[in-house]
Structure 1
Amino acid sequence: MDRPILKFTPRDIALLRPANEAERLAALHDLKILNTAPETQFDAICRTAQVLFGTPIALISLLDEDRQWFKARCGLSDDGTSRDVAFCNHTIQADAVLVVEDARDDARFSANPLVTGKPGIRFYAGAPLILRSGIRVGSLCIIDTEPRRFTTEQADQLRDLAVVVTANLRVHQDRTEHRRVAATLADTDGALRDAQTRYASLADALPQMVWTVSPRDRVTAYRNASFRAYYGEAGEPVERRLSRNHPDDVDRMSRAWEAAVLKRQALELEGRLRRHDGDYRWHRIVMTPLRRGGEVVEWLGTALDIDHIIAAQNELKETGDLLRLAQEAAEAGIWEWDMRTDVVRLSSMSARMHNLPVPNGQDAFEIPLADWKAQVHPDDLPEVWTEVKRAIADRSTYSCEFRIANPAVPAEPRWMQSFGRMLDDGAGEPARCVGLQIDITDRKASEARIAYVASHDDLTGLPNRTVFHATLERLLAELGNGSGQGALLCLDLDRFKSVNDTLGHHAGDGLLRVVADRLRATVGDDDVIARLGGDEFAIILRGPTGLESARTLAQAVITSIGQPIHLGSQVVTIGASVGIAVAPEHGLEVDILHRHADLALYRAKAAGRNSFQVYTEGMDQALENRNKLEFDMHLAHRKEEFQLHYQPVVAMADGQVRGFEALMRWPHPTRGMVSPAEFIPIAEETGLVVPLGAWALEQACSFAASWPIEARIAVNVSAVQFQQPGLEAAVRHALAVSGLAADRLELEITESLMIQDSEAVVACLHRLRSIGVRIALDDFGTGYSSLSYLRRFPFDKIKIDRSFVREIDDPDAQVIVRAVVSIGERLGTAITAEGVETEDQLALVRQTGCTEVQGFLFGKPMPAEQALAFMQEQIPRKAA
């Protein structure tokens, strides 16, 4: 059925915009990062996400008003998309990680051109980049072209990486702001230098207002052009002029003027004067008494416009404060080295970085150069000093990173990054070096963590596939030069999937950690253990004995992993299968040796698991044959080439047919009839048994519904069908489609199913039995016999394996069969003997008390047409 296509209009897209969109966009633009060049730290995080989650695409996306732009990208050539198709537009709606396991099934994205076209997005997981509460500027996302599951733990890991991205966005913003402040300071310095030149020229031209005031009536007697231009009036009283002072300055300036007149002393002050257009400007005002005969006859006043100077001073102070705050925010310390005296002058921040006490009241600290060198880690000093000498020789800048001692944690020194520029003495000789340094300890720790995450499995702490490949490549290169022997052990856990599916992923993760610890305890320190993914591990072994050492280690690993594992209140037991390939005998190339070890592992699993196998040349052909058979099986399933044959089940009492067992057959077009013993295990291993089993249920029920007799139809159910969801739904569907009564359907399960997870299995069986379906225990007594589950679940039938019937003339075999019959009688369970082929076997089976028989004596498995004829035409065989 085609999926419904939902189209989003521009209005729909607009609705996806956060309520604080304007504030969000302002915060994004303040970062000054849009359309900037690639940066190492962002690219590294992107690559880490790609490797950590195993996706082909990883992006750091920033969402502008109409587009999304990729600050970093892996696996994608485009540098952005329009916003209306961006998954990130949904991610920024909340703080949680957005997970889309299959975009085709999500109404929000099924019609998205990024899903229907290139790159063909199926899986998406994105963590929002949160600058502060409610402000989400983009996302760190991973993309796959195939649907996939995404766990809570993986979501937490993606969110942690997003926090690292956000921190780097803030660092980028701080650096940009630092550069802006530095540029502003440089512009201010230039403006001040220009102002000094301009003021000198203006002073020559007497730009200041000049006037005279009579001491008696205080009326201006003279005013220059600047005065008239400023006030736009002439001849007004001083009091009226003073009333034009800034309201905040009137009292102060009036008191100063009155005191000067009273004392007949010069007055000098600063104040804001109101211009004729109403604007207030700062002036430097000087009032000088002019005397004649000892008497003050006039006051000479000058007012120099210093408004721009006051503004520049305020701006310089604000800029200095901002620069200081930026340095403190970036934890930057300033230093200066006088090469003539070999004295290093450190700012208070730099001194603190070097664990040096700064005396109270001082903002700098001086130490000899030798003392500064003593602070640097001995392993780093040679490289630092080499870089310093290069900068001196080139008369250039230098940059280096080094460690200094950390008294609080001696084993963990702090990391510093230092920048410096060489300055000469005017004669071309180096005299000073000035610079700054920042504490990069946290950055180094983050880089180390990112490098660790990129090379190690996060769950177990073991090296990952990348390290495994590089290590094996180095070893094989050494062995190729005739240096020793080595071996590769590929390890796969037996029954891990059952634990993971039944007890949950948390238990599965705990089990993997226990396995990793046991491998570390078993494998030598010189050897390398790696987790390749899921429950797959590999061991790279280097030793003088080659194959012998590998065999010994493989058995030790199997024994160690086979011990019971406690997972909270549960105790589980798993096994391990190991494949061994030896170098140089089995290959000196990584891919070849790994493939040969995998072939041996496959053979070990096919041989019964919990064992190891060494690669031999014949394994290639065996695997090729097996893969060809698997391919043919999938093709046969699509072409509906599988068939059901039916074998009758007869009542011992009257010889009447009580039912038929449906048995799957595969008539191969070139190989002929393929044995179920050959193709059923492959179907179970690949999961094909699930759709095949659902098909068999529907076919068998539909056929049984057409029978002329009220007989039962028995269908075998694999343990794999119980492990996958949908078995109960498949049973209900088959009954509903066919119209067959539930009590005419009998599901046959094997003993191996009961031991995998009895609680979950028994619960499922009870649900099936509650709708009327009968449950039969097939092949009883082969391998896993345990009478405890006969008590825990009331089976409708127990089928005794044909191996007991074949040996029924053996008194011991008869005793066992009688015991099973006795149990069945007490539990009210029918007992069927399988594989009855002779009259003698029938007679002995009757003596044991079996209620039903099945075997070639009564009929071989036959196609549906023959089975129908068997019911219609054959007179039921009497068992007498």
Structure 2
Amino acid sequence: MSDRATMLPPVDAAEERRLAALHALELINSAPEREFDAIVSLAAALLGTDWAAVTLIDEDRQWVKASHGNLQIEEPRELSICQYTIQADEVMVVPDAEADPRLEPRRVAYGRHDIRFYAGTPIHAPTGERIGALCVADPKPRRLEMPGDERLRELAILVDALIAARATAREAIRVAEESALQAEHLQRQERIMQQAQRLAMIGSWRLTLEDEGLGWSDNVYRIYGVPVGERMTVDRALDFYPPKARGMISEALARLIETGAIMDVEVDLITAQGVRRRVRSMAELELAGGQPVAIVGVFQDVTERWTMEQALRRSADQDELTGIANRAAFNRTIEKAIAASADGGDTLMLALVDLDGFKAVNDSLGHLAGDDVLKAVGRRLSASWLAGSFAARLGGDEFALIVTDNGLTRDPEEFARRLEADLRLPVTGVSGPIPSAGTVGTAMLREGDTVRDLVHRADETLYAAKRARQGERRRGERRGERRAG
């Protein structure tokens, strides 16, 4: 692998088909798109890496469609690990690029970033050719922990779906334009467009500016849940949207008419049957003689993609075992809570929870019993009396609550006693009751406090309470020994 000829695969018939499929999509050198950006951000968050990217492998270069971590947008193909990923049948994992014989003797780099850990999985054109990769990378060696490979594959499915939807939408618009220019083929082209729309849950629409006449394709009616052909007006169409979404669409339409800026809005829609859907509408001005005469656009039901994105986003912020927030979500939330309290003058209390005797439960009853205790603690920290306090598992048997309710913050000591009483209730496990207890330390936010200050004072309160409890236990043991003597 010392020269470029040995680095790059031979351009055979399969490679020619792959390159043709890649170029047909017109993705290389295209503008940033928020859906791809969102997926790479999710990939970095889910797998805990510094860098993530959607890459496209051209004949002699790698081009980055979307990245997290400020990666260089273009590299020679011989420097790309992703060129090997598109040949792999499974997720390609490189724990340490410097020690991987496939990559020796050179260092693999993206711009100024030295890549040590890498994991990637192929992404595909709608026709099935592997055109690039969804990958994550770090500057330090590491392993891909379960279920990292599954998460990477799921996100790659989203990338494939976006590429397919993008291609289908482009094709639908192209067909619509051709049908307007070729009246003799209108009926045939209309059938093709409707089939493409049904396949991708995409419809088309047109709004004439002079009389506000609104025309929909059949698939738009289907998405709205309205009988095909029923007369629609702009005002009635807007009635299907919640107030906030209605305002966003009205503003985008007004901006399009005033400035010519392309409309691209994704909002919630309530169908005629009362079902909430997620839809995306894209539109631009139609000109005649240089003057705008209508707005033409496409309309797509993106509920399935949006639902998967939200589920992945939640999993990035959620502790898998207890169902409450994880440390990363806690760190972001406490920062925002302190800033909001400083701006509004509201009270804020941090409560830290450390379970008592948890190691003994694991050692004597097993880790499944320990998991039952942790799940029960997650439920108790979400109890209704906590008035919507933000609960998080910080790791192991450590938990936290961000409390903003004035009724709860009025008496921190009473709050700690009540929460400790809740935590002392036995947990019902498969083999019977499991002992449960916890110590709580609280701290009220003071003017000028940072996150570090607040956590430090809550930590001090927690361990003072633990020392006091241990002292009481030792005094009780000595009294028992004296009575026995």
TM-score by length of 1: 0.45
- 2:461 equivalent to 1:596: no
Change (3 A) 1:548 1:398: closer
8 Å Cα contact 1:485-1:546 kept in structure 2: no
1:174 is the counterpart of 2:168: yes
In structure 2, the residue corresponding to 1:152 is in which secondary structure?
Answer: coil
Structure 2 matches for 1:829-840, cutoff 5 A? none
Distance of aligned partners of 1:173 and 1:595 in 2 relative to their CA distance in 1, 3 Å threshold: farther
Paired letter, 1:597: A
For the Cα contact (< 8 Å) 2:390–2:401, is it kept in 1? Answer: yes
The aligned residue for residue 406 of structure 1 is: 271
Question: Would you say 1:355 and 2:217 are equivalent positions?
Answer: no
Q: Is the 8 A contact 1:95 1:130 kept in 2?
A: no
Trace 1:732-811 onto structure 2 (pairs within 5 A).
none
Q: Cα deviations across residues 327-346 of structure 1 (Å, max 9, x unaligned)?
A: 44443334445667665443
Alpha-carbon distance in 1 for matches of 2:103, 2:168 = 37
How far did residue 113 of structure 1 move?
0.2
List runs of 5+ in structure 1 lacking aligned partners.
Answer: 1-6, 193-312, 359-363, 612-781, 783-802, 814-880
- Aligned CA-pair RMSD: 4.9
| Closer/same/farther in 2, CA of residues 156 and 451 from structure 1, 3 Å limit | closer
Mapped partners of 2:263, 2:299: distance in 1? 12
Provide the residue aligned with 1:157 in structure 2. Answer: 151
Q: Deviations over 1:709-764 (max 9, x none)?
A: xxxxxxxxxxxxxxxxxxxxxxxxxxxxxxxxxxxxxxxxxxxxxxxxxxxxxxxx
Give the SS at the match of 1:52: helix
Query: How has the CA–CA distance of structure 1 residues 323 and 513 changed in structure 2, closer, same or farther, with 3 Å as cutoff?
Result: same
TM-score (ref. length: structure 2)? 0.75
Tell me, in whole angstroms, the C-alpha distance in 2 between the residues paired with 1:16 and 1:606: 70
Match of 1:276 in 2: none
Q: 2:404 corresponds to which residue?
A: 542
Aligned to 2:348: 486
**Partner of residue 531, structure 1:** 393
Check conservation: 2:43, 2:155, Cα contact below 8 A. Answer: yes
Instruction: Give how far 1:571 is off.
Output: 7.8
Amino acid aligned to 2:217: S
Q: Secondary structure, in 3 states, of the residue corresponding to 2:276?
A: coil
How far off its partner does 1:355 sit? Answer: 2.5
Give the 3 Å change call, closer, same or farther, for CA 471–19 of structure 1 in structure 2.
Answer: same
Contact (CA 8 Å) 1:490, 1:580: kept in 2 or not? yes
What letter matches 2:454 in structure 1? L
Give the match for residue 445 of structure 2.
583
Residues 630-779 of structure 1: pairs in structure 2 closer than 5 A:
none
1:417 equivalent to 2:270? Answer: no
| Residue type at the aligned position of 1:417 | S
C-alpha distance in structure 2 between counterparts of 1:36 and 1:573, whole Å: 59
**Distance (whole Å) between structure 2 residues aligned to residue 117 and residue 354 of structure 1:** 47
- C-alpha change, 1:583 and 1:369, in structure 2 (3 Å) is closer
Once residues 94 and 417 of structure 1 are traced to their aligned partners in structure 2, the CA distance between those partners, rounded to angstroms, is 37
Bigger shift: residues 97-106 or 534-543: 97-106
CA distance in structure 1 between the aligned counterparts of 2:466 and 2:104, rounded to whole angstroms = 41
- CA contact under 8 A between 1:581 and 1:597: conserved in structure 2? yes
Contact kept? 2:240, 2:272, Cα under 8 Å: no
Q: Is the 8 A contact 1:100 1:106 kept in 2?
A: yes
Contact 1:500 1:508 in 2 (8 A): yes
Q: Please report how far the alpha carbon of residue 165 of structure 1 lies from its aligned counterpart in structure 2 after TM superposition.
A: 1.7
Q: Structure 2 residue aligned with 1:77, among 59, 71, 74?
A: 71
Instruction: Give percent identity, aligned residues only.
Output: 33
The number of aligned residues is 479
Counterparts of 1:619-630 in structure 2, within 5 Å, are none
Shift of 1:540: 1.0
Name 1:332's counterpart in structure 2: 202
1:33 aligned partner: 27
2:150 aligned partner, one-letter code: D
In 1: Cα distance, 2:5 partner to 2:260 partner: 61
Q: Which residue of 1 aligns with 2:231?
A: 366
Alignment of 1:301-450 (within 5 A): 322-337=192-207, 344-358=214-228, 364-367=229-232, 371-377=236-242, 380-385=245-250, 387-388=252-253, 400=265, 403-408=268-273, 410-413=274-277, 415=279, 417=281, 419=283, 421=285, 434-446=296-308, 448-449=310-311
Residue 117 (structure 1) shift: 11
Moved more, 463-472 or 177-186: 177-186
Question: 1:593 is matched by which residue type in structure 2?
Answer: L
Decide whether the 8 Å contact of 1:348 with 1:365 is kept in 2.
no
Tell me, in whole angstroms, the C-alpha distance in 1 between the residues paired with 2:461 and 2:470: 12
Shift of residue 524, structure 1, vs aligned partner: 0.6
The verdict on how the C-alpha distance between 1:564 and 1:82 changes in structure 2, with shifts beyond 3 A counting, is farther
Does the 8 Å CA contact 1:16/1:89 hold for their aligned counterparts? no
Distance between the aligned counterparts of 1:116 and 1:499, measured in 2? 48
Could you list the per-position Cα deviations for residues 841-867 of structure 1 after superposition, in whole angstroms to 9, with x for gaps in the alignment?
xxxxxxxxxxxxxxxxxxxxxxxxxxx
One-letter amino acid of the counterpart of residue 540, structure 1: I
Structure with the greater relative contact order (CA < 8 A, sep ≥ 6): 1 or 2? 2
Q: CA deviation at 1:99?
A: 3.4
Does the 8 Å CA contact 1:480/1:584 hold for their aligned counterparts?
no
Relative to structure 1, the CA distance from residue 167 to residue 145 in structure 2 (aligned partners, 3 Å threshold; closer, same or farther) is: same
Contact 1:38/1:72, CA 8 A, preserved across alignment: yes
Structure 2 regions of 5+ residues with no counterpart? none
Kindly provide the CA deviation profile for residues 789-839 of structure 1, in whole angstroms up to 9, marking residues without a partner as x. Answer: xxxxxxxxxxxxxx9xxx9xx9x89xxxxxxxxxxxxxxxxxxxxxxxxxx
Q: 1:568 to 1:19 in 2, by over 3 A?
A: farther
1:43 matched to 2:43: no
SS of 1:520's partner is coil
Counterpart amino acid of 2:402? Answer: I
Once residues 360 and 62 of structure 2 are traced to their aligned partners in structure 1, the CA distance between those partners, rounded to angstroms, is 43
Q: Does the aligned pair in 1 maintain the 2:282–2:298 contact within 8 Å?
A: yes
Q: Residue 449 of structure 2 aligns to a residue in which SS? A: coil
